[in-house]
């Protein structure tokens, strides 16, 4: 899966958003996750597995890419390999979108003005 995207807004108090991921039947396997200005690739529950950049500026367009093959997942940022994660699950699937890590219990105010936003310019999924 290749996502051409930009993260444009983060919630207050818990400024975190996921902007593309591989998920299995129960939980996320790996994601591109922005926390403030730090963009990470995660490995399961290891949220800070690979720091991609510590200076992400909201609105910056980038390419996130996951390649899942041969028992591993490779994560690329703007065409550069960031990490390779071992994974042999057969129930994984791709997800693209804005998945905030905040809700009314951990980010104030609880209103429509407190949100996360990702602009997706293009998504390409190829299966072989």
pLDDT (tens digit per residue) in 69-121:
999 999 999 999 999 999 988 889 999 988 888 778 877 888 888 899 999 99
| Strand partners of residue 5 | 62, 120
Q: How many domains does one find in the chain?
A: 1
- pLDDT value for 41: 98
Comparison of pLDDT for 90 and 58, the residue scoring more: 58
- Main-chain dihedrals φ then ψ at residue 85, nearest 5 degrees: -115, 130
Range of the domain at 35: 2-124
d(CA 68, CA 44): 15
| Strand partners of residue 6 | 61, 119
- pLDDT value for 10: 95
Q: What is the CATH number of the domain that holds 44?
A: 2.60.120.200
**E strands, the chain, in order:** 2-9, 16-23, 28-35, 38-43, 46-53, 61-69, 72-77, 80-86, 93-95, 99-100, 117-124
Question: In the predicted model, what is the mean pLDDT of the chain?
Answer: 93
């Amino acid at each position: 899966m290749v996502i051409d995207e930009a993260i444009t807004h983060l919630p207050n108090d818990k400024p975190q958003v996921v902007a593309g991921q591989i998920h299995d039947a129960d939980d996320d396997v790996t994601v591109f996750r922005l926390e403030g200005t730090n963009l990470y690739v995660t490995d399961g529950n290891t949220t800070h597995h690979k720091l991609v950049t510590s200076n992400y500026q909201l609105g910056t367009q980038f390419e996130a890419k996951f390649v899942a093959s041969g028992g591993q997942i490779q994560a690329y940022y703007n065409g550069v390999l960031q990490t390779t994660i071992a994974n042999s699950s057969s129930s994984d699937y791709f997800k693209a979108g804005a998945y905030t890590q905040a809700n009314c219990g951990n980010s104030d105010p609880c209103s429509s003005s407190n949100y996360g936003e990702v602009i997706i310019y293009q998504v390409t999924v190829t299966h072989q």
